[in-house]
Amino acid sequence: MAAFMPGIGSAMGIGIAGRSATGVLSEKPERYGALFLQVVLPGTQGFYGFVIAFFAMNTINKFEELTLSTALAILAACLPIAFAGMLSAIHQGKTCAAGILMTAKRPEMAVKAGVLYAAMVEVYAVLGFLISLLILLGIS
């Protein structure tokens, strides 16, 4: 869950932002550099989920025999990044798409508003990542 839910959200978020960017770039290809960061930004949640999945697998490998309660604890530890990562990536993609459309008309606002507003959505994925990580590190 830690890997696939944020991965799905990241793919959707990048798709949303990418559709907006291709529309803008068809008219203004010189804006590619300004739009690139806003297109790839929703992909970070997929990486957060991958890291937590890696930690979860390492936690599982620490046990000679995995009990049901430990397995459920590991599953529960993956839920914060699973849901926060998936939902924030989708909404970050929508925020980036709006920033991309704004950048088409006002390129000077690309970083000031487009990236900054999208980064504010990212905070919640980071919080989900940290909670999942802290729980996994505490499972012994």
Task: Convert the pLDDT of each residue in 65-82 to its tens digit.
Answer: 889 999 999 999 999 999
pLDDT of residue 137: 95
Between these two residues, 20 and 140, which has the higher pLDDT value?
A: 20
Q: What are the extents of the domains in the chain?
A: 4-138
Region 36-50: mean pLDDT is 96
Q: How confident is the model at residue 56 (pLDDT cuts 50, 70, 90)?
A: very high
pLDDT of residue 120: 94
- b/e map 35-55, b = 16+ CB within 10 Å: bebbbebbbbbbebbbbbbeb
Which numeric CATH code is attached to 4-138?
1.20.120.610
Model pTM greater than 0.85? yes
pLDDT of residue 123: 96
Task: Convert the pLDDT of each residue in 81-136 to its tens digit.
Answer: 999 999 999 999 999 999 999 988 888 887 887 889 999 999 999 999 999 999 99
